[in-house]
Structure 1
Amino acid sequence: MYLGVDYYPEHWDHSMIDSDLSRMKEMGANMIRIGEFAWHLMEKSDGEFDFHFFDYVLNKARQYGMMVMFGTPTATFPAWLGRKHPDIFIVDENGQKMAFGGRRQYCYNSPEYRKYSLRIAEKLVFHYREEEAIVSWQVDNELGHEGSDMCYCGECHKGFTNYLENSYESIDELNEKWGTIFWGQTYNSFDEVPLPTKTITVHNPSLLLDWARFRSKSLADFAHAHIELVKERKGSHQTVTTNLPGGFFQKWFDHNEFSRSLDFVSYDNYPVWGGMKEPVTPAFLSMSLDYVRGLKKENFWIVEQLMGAQGHDVIGYLPRPNQAKAWSYHAFAHGCTNMLYFRWRGMTRGAEQNCYGILDGNNQKTRKFHEVKSFFNDIQKYEDILNTPYQAEVAVLYDFDNIWSWRSQRENPQFDFTSELMRLYTPFHRLNAGIDVIRYDLDFSQYKVVVVPVMKVIDEELAARLEDFAKKGGTVIMSYRAGVRDKTNNLRFGEMIPGPLSSLLGIEVHEAESLHEGQSASLLFSGKEYSCTHWRDMVHPTDAMSLASYSDSFYNEYSAVTVNSFGKGKAYYIGAGVEEDLLNVLVSEIAGDVNLNVLETNPGVEVVRRTSEEQEYAIVINHNGTAEEFNGESIEPYGCSFYHYREEGVWTKIEATERSQEAAHL
């Protein structure tokens, strides 16, 4: 197990490295992550490569028994490159070129940036291909983060034109599929198609979806070029990864398009950031980790784990004592196998002076140091448990075509895809069910329940796979606006909504209403009144059974929630933004119906099960700042405990001394 820190020795007087590495060893670290922002240090002028500083750092790392993850430094290019080739900079939708001074200001479609970035990566990796201390290469840094996934420069326009030419047989086919006859937008050639910069009213939604697909391809092509180069040049003992930032569904790229080519996926785990007065919810944090694990359906690394308060200009919430430690246990519970904390020491100069680390600018070993030391000492005792596969019985599906369609036409000013996914995810998380968050094209036949949030863009192939899943005994849960549009982002002609899902769901949607801020509608479910916000479909069951109906006088003939028996399984339709209490009741009934492996606990107490061939384990995390009870025992605020499952309904706590004795015996 690799446990360590993100270290930037170039930020400090070189005489500090021995003190730093010795204190890291004292803390229990065995890995450092270095190099990802040091291009200028390696190439001070064009073609003049110098790696002597990192030769020195790696020599010190070997002396202290530290393994190394080395980042290729292409997220921050040197000033000389920007001056020599000003065309490499991103251009925003207003035609404003980004200035040098931040990071990731480069355009993924710039041929010059592609050339120079691959050159420095090739020189670096080849130089250290035999270095035994380097066990992994990190490609770039947080690709596409902070708006760097979008550019409207001339190279992007040429690339978009080529993308469209390769996607359509002719300009006539594009005109037909996009419906450019509307507003007289018909094109005579592909090079007449504009970039979707600001215009009066809005752009064609089919253009916007193809533009989003092109943006994703642009980033993926850049990532693949770097991943393939590093794989070709690295040593046989070295692996390749890249660190993914959060905010997945707010990006203009699909992580699946390049993550599946990595040796393993890595993630930067920040439960709170600058400007946030409190952390994200435990359910949101779990969903994020389930998404990362779902990219390859494998365990993963975290290479930036928050310890101190964070922010660039504004500082966010201060993690309470042991709270960041609890987030670390939680990450391991959801599939992390190796962890590096951001960062060893907070920087006292530059843009990230408000990003605090294990050590602060005072360079003293304070609470955070001892908290990490305690965690490193403890987590290693459970390595065998944490290397077991994560068992999920529920899959939550997403499709970026659908997400990008929602982003181009939100249909409701309050709509947010992530919030709607969380609306359906959270009730299962509350029951401590095992959940995978995966792209729609992965196999979902082995799950008991498949959840498909707000899938307004869908094709017949996915609809048929969902039908097959239900026929064989699976349970499908879909929410409002399902099946409204086809894969060109157009409404379906001559079909009742939900289009290709009509047979599976056994319904027709006759009308719909967007509920704006301050608006809600009431409905009756199991004899009790509930409310819905954001949206409501007026659902007419054809084969389905109504579970909830609207209670207002105009639409009380219509259903809000239905269930349809389909083959050996069932398909639920939640046709409104229904409140949490209703969903908790419904999901509890579904869990019992399909015999999900669930366990009810106090709010804020999360149980994650891991199973080996011989034993079932439970990792119990208390996300609360007060003591909570599990299994008749008290768990301290932000505490974590490990349990054996002994027999029906009986859990036995694994004591740390017990694990130490087992490790010594082995």
Structure 2
Amino acid sequence: MSELAVPGIAYGGDYNPEQWPEEVWAEDVRLMREAGVTMVSVNIFAWALLEPREGEYDFSRLDRILALLHENGIAADLATPTAAPPAWFFRAHPDALPVDRDGRGLSYGSRQTFCPSSPAYREAALRITGELAARYADHPAVVMWHIHNEYGCHNAECYCEASAEAFRGWLREKYADDLEALNRAWGTTFWSQWYYDWDEIIPPRATGAVPNPAHQLDWRRFCSDELLSLYKAEREVLRAAAPSVPATTNFMVMYNFDALDYWRWAPELDIVSNDHYLQSTDPESEIDIALSGDLVRSLAGGRPWLLMEHSTGAVNWQPVNRAKTAGELRRNALAHVARGADGIAYFQWRAAKAGAEQWHSAMLPHAGTDSQIWRDVVQLGADLRALAEVRGSTGTAKVAIVWDWNAWWSVELPSQPSGEVRFQDLVRAWYEPLWRAGVAVDFVRPDADLSAYRVVLAPSLYLVDDEGAANLAGFAERGGTLAVGFHSGAVDENCHVRLGGYPGAFREALGVRSDELFPLLPGEPVGLSEGGTASVWSERVRLDGAEAVTSFASGPLTGVPAVTRHTHGTGTTWYVATLPAPSTLADLLDRIRTEAGVTPVRVTPEGVEAVLRRGEDADYLFLINHGDRSAEVEVPAGAADLLAGKPVEGGTVTVRAGDVVVVREPR
């Protein structure tokens, strides 16, 4: 991972001066300095202004913008504007427009209205990227390249003929030009789908019945890889011109965005960055912030990362877009820092007066500087300056949760035993009790090195290949604690059911075998023998070496084990064959991690989130009070309150309701 050449915790947002008269720019940079802004992203959606006609360029405006920023000590994260091709491009290349699953051609008039497999788009994108690279490679303001913007946000899948041809090329490479191997992997003897010629293969377009799950899964993999190939192509152009300038693109690790396999993307980024927005319908969105931050840090290999976009207040794209409550702007931003962000940025600097995002909040809102948002933005700038020494510190987790995009895609394909099984919901259900308990968590691939952890949890791993399954089982065999959720290990990497009983790949390691699944109807709870209820799932579990911890106390499987424990090698495995109610699941996970010797970062009063970042010479304890009353938290002797800028006296700190305290703890 490269380092960002901006001191301390970077602070800023998307800056779109092209949307405003030039006389506004001087006010912008004056106010940026007042707010403590150190870096802004520029040029993200400026393609039409930079290249008004094909092959004709006008960089005069961007020259002035970059010069102004540099003169005022503000660094530039310079974007390639390739997320929004101009209208002239589509008039010249109408075949570059995307086609949806139903065969409907889409029009230009918004952003990301291109087919990722279009040769004309790739050529045009690399041409404008090359011009930018040649002109600004040595510009003193440019500290990072921002490639594209939110890949796959609107055009993750295109079903046109160019996409079909690219899909076939991807398949030929994956299956070594062996069509029979593809037929075996896809199980095409079912429903007479056998292919005799590569040209017979098409994207999984709308059809009369359920498409082949293996076909759909490979399609999702292809779509992620196709966009990744565009990112890599632009990055290589930039790297050739400016090898010392790091490149990034903004991920979207946030609720319900599953288009891209970020485990494949992350190693290609010099600095991992992410966009995160709250869901107005989530009453505890602070949990989603924490989960997202832990996942992004894990994608970055445990290294710090950048929050490239979030909002100061309301967004503009949900059915109801709520403003943030008092103190929420500050809590949200510092929660991301707590989880490893070494940069905090917003969409956007100045709230737009026109356009599709005119009702999206900004650092400088429509109301101007006489506003609560502006006062909070200035305060946050001061807070981040006070936290400069936190930069570069890392996490401390001994618990890992398995996260896999292939498992997510496959478990939510049609014709599953239950449409109520949703990957992200299950992961959050297991993550939430750990968050409440103050237990640090990393996320891992199934085939990751697990030697740093004591506990590994796999809440939802429907699809797993042999390597991943053996890695997880081996972790337990060597002394670790592995807990696996229902419907995991059921299919291999081609979506083929693992025969011999459930949970498939994990039967031996878990010491159980199920012969039939009994998913539960929505709103149909079942009782558990140790108290509490469960929902979503049940199955007929037979003990095959394991012991029953909890059994079903009602429903069609009364008396059948619901939670089991097994000694595997020198370690312990658990199987959770249902979804216990939140308090019951919390008790179970407390038992699992306590038996494994995992303790919380700090014991805190209810409602106070505790997160630890580990530096070279000190630890940094973030205490975030989401409650409505003040709380006292013990800290070691010699600690200092960084935000208050003073030593801690008496061995405790007071965290006021809705407030944040960051404590430097000597080691």
Q: Is the 8 Å Cα contact of residues 312 and 354 (structure 1) preserved in structure 2?
A: no
In structure 1, the residue matched to 2:539 is 537
What secondary structure, in the 3-state scheme, does the structure 2 residue paired with 1:69 have?
Answer: strand
Q: Distance in 2 between matches of 1:268 and 1:278?
A: 17
In structure 2, the residue matched to 1:55 is 63
Q: Distance in 1 between matches of 2:366 and 2:489?
A: 54
Aligned ranges for residues 637-656 of structure 1 at < 5 Å?
637-645=657-665
Aligned ranges for residues 406-445 of structure 1 at < 5 Å?
406-409=411-414, 410-445=416-451
1:574 matched to 2:576? The reply is yes
2:363 corresponds, among 354, 358, 362, to 358
What secondary structure, in the 3-state scheme, does the structure 2 residue paired with 1:45 have?
Answer: coil
1:282 corresponds, among 286, 298, 306, to 286
Q: Which deviates the most, 37-46 or 187-196? A: 187-196
- TM-score normalised by length of structure 1: 0.92
1:321 matched to 2:326? The reply is yes
**Per-residue deviation, 1:459:** 2.1
Q: Distance in 2 between matches of 1:269 and 1:247?
A: 6
- C-alpha deviations, 1:263-284, integer Å up to 9, x for none? 1111112224xxx245653222
**Per-residue deviation, 1:235:** 5.8
Q: Which amino acid aligns with 2:417?
A: E
1:348 corresponds, among 349, 353, 376, to 353
**Per-residue deviation, 1:553:** 6.8
Q: Is the 8 Å Cα contact of residues 250 and 308 (structure 2) preserved in structure 1?
A: yes
- C-alpha deviations, 1:178-229, integer Å up to 9, x for none? 2222222222212212321111220111111111111111111111111222
From the superposition, tell whether residues 153 and 382 of structure 1 become closer, same or farther in structure 2 (CA, over 3 Å).
same
Q: Which deviates the most, 379-388 or 340-349? A: 379-388
1:481 matched to 2:484? The reply is no
From the superposition, tell whether residues 543 and 55 of structure 1 become closer, same or farther in structure 2 (CA, over 3 Å).
same
- C-alpha deviations, 1:91-127, integer Å up to 9, x for none? 1011111111111111111111000001101101210
1:602 corresponds, among 601, 605, 612, to 605
Q: Which amino acid aligns with 1:206?
A: A
Q: Distance in 2 between matches of 1:57 and 1:468?
A: 55
Q: Which amino acid aligns with 1:430?
A: R
Aligned ranges for residues 249-648 of structure 1 at < 5 Å?
250-272=257-279, 276-278=280-282, 280-297=284-301, 298-312=303-317, 314-409=319-414, 410-493=416-499, 495-525=500-530, 529-552=531-554, 554-598=556-600, 599-631=602-634, 633-645=653-665
In structure 2, the residue matched to 1:138 is 146
1:70 corresponds, among 75, 78, 93, to 78
Q: Distance in 2 between matches of 1:390 and 1:516?
A: 40
1:151 matched to 2:153? The reply is no
Q: Distance in 2 between matches of 1:573 and 1:645?
A: 38
Q: Which amino acid aligns with 1:180?
A: T
What secondary structure, in the 3-state scheme, does the structure 2 residue paired with 1:26 have?
Answer: helix
Q: Is the 8 Å Cα contact of residues 76 and 141 (structure 2) preserved in structure 1?
A: yes
2:98 corresponds, among 76, 84, 90, to 90
Q: Is the 8 Å Cα contact of residues 289 and 335 (structure 1) preserved in structure 2?
A: yes
Q: Distance in 2 between matches of 1:224 and 1:315?
A: 37
Q: Which amino acid aligns with 1:562?
A: T
Q: Which amino acid aligns with 1:148?
A: N
From the superposition, tell whether residues 468 and 312 of structure 1 become closer, same or farther in structure 2 (CA, over 3 Å).
closer
What secondary structure, in the 3-state scheme, does the structure 2 residue paired with 1:44 have?
Answer: coil
What secondary structure, in the 3-state scheme, does the structure 1 residue paired with 2:310 have?
Answer: strand
Q: Is the 8 Å Cα contact of residues 304 and 393 (structure 2) preserved in structure 1?
A: no
What secondary structure, in the 3-state scheme, does the structure 2 residue paired with 1:496 have?
Answer: coil
Q: Is the 8 Å Cα contact of residues 279 and 317 (structure 1) preserved in structure 2?
A: no
Q: Which amino acid aligns with 1:349?
A: A
- C-alpha deviations, 1:589-617, integer Å up to 9, x for none? 12221221313433431100122344333
- C-alpha deviations, 1:503-544, integer Å up to 9, x for none? 21011012211212121221112xxx2211111122111111
Q: Distance in 2 between matches of 1:198 and 1:262?
A: 35
**Per-residue deviation, 1:391:** 1.2
What secondary structure, in the 3-state scheme, does the structure 2 residue paired with 1:95 have?
Answer: coil
Q: Distance in 2 between matches of 1:581 and 1:95?
A: 47
Q: Is the 8 Å Cα contact of residues 36 and 141 (structure 1) preserved in structure 2?
A: yes
**Per-residue deviation, 1:629:** 4.2
Q: Is the 8 Å Cα contact of residues 253 and 296 (structure 2) preserved in structure 1?
A: no
Q: Distance in 1 between matches of 2:259 and 2:378?
A: 38
Cα RMSD (Å): 1.9
From the superposition, tell whether residues 497 and 201 of structure 1 become closer, same or farther in structure 2 (CA, over 3 Å).
same
1:188 corresponds, among 186, 196, 200, to 196
In structure 2, the residue matched to 1:215 is 223
Q: Is the 8 Å Cα contact of residues 606 and 623 (structure 1) preserved in structure 2?
A: yes
Q: Distance in 1 between matches of 2:89 and 2:628?
A: 49
- C-alpha deviations, 1:435-485, integer Å up to 9, x for none? 112322331221111111221212221222122211221111110012211
What secondary structure, in the 3-state scheme, does the structure 2 residue paired with 1:49 have?
Answer: coil
Q: Is the 8 Å Cα contact of residues 266 and 300 (structure 1) preserved in structure 2?
A: yes
**Per-residue deviation, 1:306:** 1.4
Q: Which deviates the most, 246-255 or 435-444? A: 246-255
What secondary structure, in the 3-state scheme, does the structure 1 residue paired with 2:529 have?
Answer: strand
**Per-residue deviation, 1:364:** 3.2
- C-alpha deviations, 1:353-392, integer Å up to 9, x for none? 1102122224334221121111211222222234211111
Q: Is the 8 Å Cα contact of residues 539 and 560 (structure 1) preserved in structure 2?
A: yes
1:232 matched to 2:240? The reply is yes
Unaligned 5+ runs, structure 2: 1-7, 635-651
Q: Distance in 1 between matches of 2:319 and 2:15?
A: 23
Unaligned 5+ runs, structure 1: 648-666
Q: Which amino acid aligns with 1:411?
A: P
In structure 2, the residue matched to 1:664 is none
2:122 corresponds, among 98, 114, 136, to 114
**Per-residue deviation, 1:646:** 6.8
Q: Distance in 2 between matches of 1:448 and 1:400?
A: 24
Q: Which amino acid aligns with 2:598?
A: L
1:243 matched to 2:263? The reply is no
What secondary structure, in the 3-state scheme, does the structure 2 residue paired with 1:538 have?
Answer: strand
Q: Distance in 2 between matches of 1:31 and 1:616?
A: 26
Q: Distance in 1 between matches of 2:625 and 2:17?
A: 36
Q: Is the 8 Å Cα contact of residues 99 and 160 (structure 2) preserved in structure 1?
A: yes
Q: Which amino acid aligns with 2:172?
A: E
From the superposition, tell whether residues 268 and 252 of structure 1 become closer, same or farther in structure 2 (CA, over 3 Å).
closer
Alignment coverage as a number of residue pairs = 638
**Per-residue deviation, 1:176:** 2.8
Q: Distance in 1 between matches of 2:115 and 2:82?
A: 12
Q: Distance in 2 between matches of 1:314 and 1:283?
A: 21
Q: Which amino acid aligns with 1:295?
A: L
Q: Is the 8 Å Cα contact of residues 365 and 373 (structure 2) preserved in structure 1?
A: no
Q: Distance in 2 between matches of 1:202 and 1:278?
A: 32
